[in-house]
């Protein structure tokens, strides 16, 4: 029995996409989620105003979307947001997840800007390269 090239590729890339999503979800769960980001907390000492302002023109503080992996350098990843086609760099991934990534994989991410780069606040599914979203 012969398999089409598409099925052969999916037999490799789909399990890897599932592993990426699983390992990233577990890493985020162990880290404790969004509450590790003080920007999400409210400072009641300062009259209850939020310390986290994502509405500053020209300086996004958070991005949510589907990101296609463009390059991986250690734990730093460059990705393109699919709707805006904006490139985001560096996204800081847990090292065990970065080791699984490859060009073209698509991941649903919630990102928060930190001084060292974009931190992952949440994630959804990961998809194999070439997936239409």
Token digits of residue 60: 């996004």
Q: For the beta carbon of residue 53, count every other beta carbon within 10 angstroms.
A: 10
> Which pLDDT tens digit goes with each residue over 27-52?
999 876 444 545 444 444 444 434 44
Spell out the residues 6+ positions from residue 9 whose beta carbon is closer than 8 angstroms to its own: 128
Rounded CA separation 96/133 (Å): 25
Question: Which pLDDT score, from 0 to 100, does residue 9 have?
Answer: 74
Q: Which domains does the chain have, with CATH numbers?
A: 5-43+54-127 (2.40.50.140)
Tell me the pLDDT of the chain averaged across its residues: 83
Tens of pLDDT, residue by residue over 67-100, are 999 999 999 999 999 999 999 999 999 999 999 9
């Amino acid at each position: 029995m012969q398999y089409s090239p598409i099925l052969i590729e999916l037999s490799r890339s789909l399990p890897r996409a599932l592993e990426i999503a699983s390992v990233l979800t577990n890493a985020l769960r162990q880290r404790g989620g969004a509450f590790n980001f003080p920007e999400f907390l409210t400072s009641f000492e300062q009259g209850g105003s939020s310390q986290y302002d994502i509405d500053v023109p020209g300086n996004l503080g958070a991005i949510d979307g589907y990101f296609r992996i463009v390059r991986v350098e250690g734990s730093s990843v460059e990705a393109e947001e699919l709707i805006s086609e904006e490139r985001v760099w560096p996204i800081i991934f847990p090292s065990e997840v970065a080791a699984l990534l490859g060009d073209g994989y698509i991941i649903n991410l919630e990102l928060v800007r930190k001084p060292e780069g974009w931190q992952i606040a949440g994630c959804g599914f990961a998809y194999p390269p070439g997936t239409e979203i």
